[in-house]
Amino acid sequence: MKFLKYVLKSLLRDRRTLTWSVFFSLSLEFFSIFYLNRMNDINAGLVRQASGLMYSLMLMMSMAFSSVAIGRSFVEQSRSFGYIFRFSKMNGKSYLIQLVGGVATVYIILSGLFVLFTVFMFDMKYSTLVFPRNLAELVLFSMLGGMSILGTTLVVDQLVLKFQGRRNLNFIQFLPVFLYFTFDWAIIEGGAHGSEFYMSPFLSSTYLMINAYGGTSSFWFNVSTPYTVNLLLSVISVVSWVTSLMLLDAFILKGIYLTPEEEERVV
């Protein structure tokens, strides 16, 4: 539990983790909302759907950038894994559980911050005060979306640490951000239907957040080919991806400090 408290304090104080990513995302949301064309026939339902779209995109982007800083902190801490896991009560499993718990708590705090900001900004823009349809679901799906990004980040960093040492880490640490923007928006712009949608945990998380915020079942990013997404399959996609990524993280983490040769790559 001591490490969990340390993770929380370090993440909340680290400018790389929160300050810059949150500031950039909130600034982009501010300009996006105020430069949007004013919608006609405004009603609470329409504003709630637009709010859900803006909230989900900006929060996922903020968590994606935050994951880069978290990954760098993980790499820095990995220098001591060989010592810590052999000469202290902490092992790889407890380390990963407390790290994930700390990051999940921070992402929950982030989701609350973005909800308040989104509600305030749309009220300022359209003079219509609306709140998320289901706040508990929204926070849960937001946290799961963040965990999918974190899991991807840790898998990539650990694979490079294991097979390449510290070489080329700077080239791959932004990979989760690229995956979020490239694959998700490629699917959206391509108007993909069916199974292709559920291949991406990031896109599934985005839709689940929109659904929890606005209550819509129509995926209306691409108006030329609108379609309805299966909520249950989206949940299965996100949960399966997060579970698989975390199990893979735990498996790879053991390999980082199994032999002196592997430890030399880390140290």
Identify the pLDDT of residue 146. Answer: 92
pLDDT at 239 over 50: yes
pLDDT at 5 over 60: yes
pLDDT at 200 over 80: yes
Residue ranges making up the domain that contains 27: 2-266
Distance (Å, whole) CA 49 – CA 216? 7
Q: Which has more pLDDT, 157 or 187?
A: 157
Query: 145: closest CA among 181, 108, 117, 116?
Result: 108
Distance (Å, whole) CA 151 – CA 247? 9
Q: State mean pLDDT over 202-227.
A: 75
Query: 110: closest CA among 230, 10, 219, 18?
Result: 18
Distance (Å, whole) CA 108 – CA 143? 6
Longest dimension (CA), the chain: 67
Identify the pLDDT of residue 136. Answer: 94
pLDDT at 39 over 60: no
- Residue 30 binned pLDDT confidence (cut-offs 50, 70, 90): low
Q: Which has more pLDDT, 208 or 33?
A: 208
Rounded to two decimals, what is the model's pTM?
Answer: 0.83
pLDDT tens readout for residues 148-170: 999 998 998 888 887 776 666 77
pLDDT at 21 over 60: yes
What residue has token string 């989900």? Answer: 56
CB distance 221 to 71 below 8 Å: no
Q: State mean pLDDT over 225-239.
A: 83
What residue has token string 């709010």? Answer: 51
Q: State mean pLDDT over 174-182.
A: 77
pLDDT tens readout for residues 79-98: 777 777 777 777 878 888 88
Identify the pLDDT of residue 259. Answer: 47
Task: Point out the least confidently predicted range of 112-121, 129-138, 221-230.
Answer: 221-230
Q: State mean pLDDT over 251-255.
A: 81
CB distance 209 to 138 below 8 Å: yes
Contacts of 48 (CB under 8 A, 6+ apart): 130, 132, 133, 213, 214, 215
pLDDT at 246 over 90: yes
Identify the pLDDT of residue 28. Answer: 67
Share of the chain above pLDDT 70, in %: 75
C-beta neighbour count of 260 within 10 angstroms: 9
Q: Report the number of distinct structural domains present in the chain.
A: 1
Distance (Å, whole) CA 87 – CA 30? 49
Query: 123: closest CA among 213, 31, 33, 22?
Result: 33
Identify the pLDDT of residue 266. Answer: 46
CA 234 from centroid of its chain's CA atoms = 16
CB distance 142 to 107 below 8 Å: yes
Share of the chain above pLDDT 90, in %: 16
Q: Which has more pLDDT, 201 or 143?
A: 143
Distance (Å, whole) CA 189 – CA 158? 32
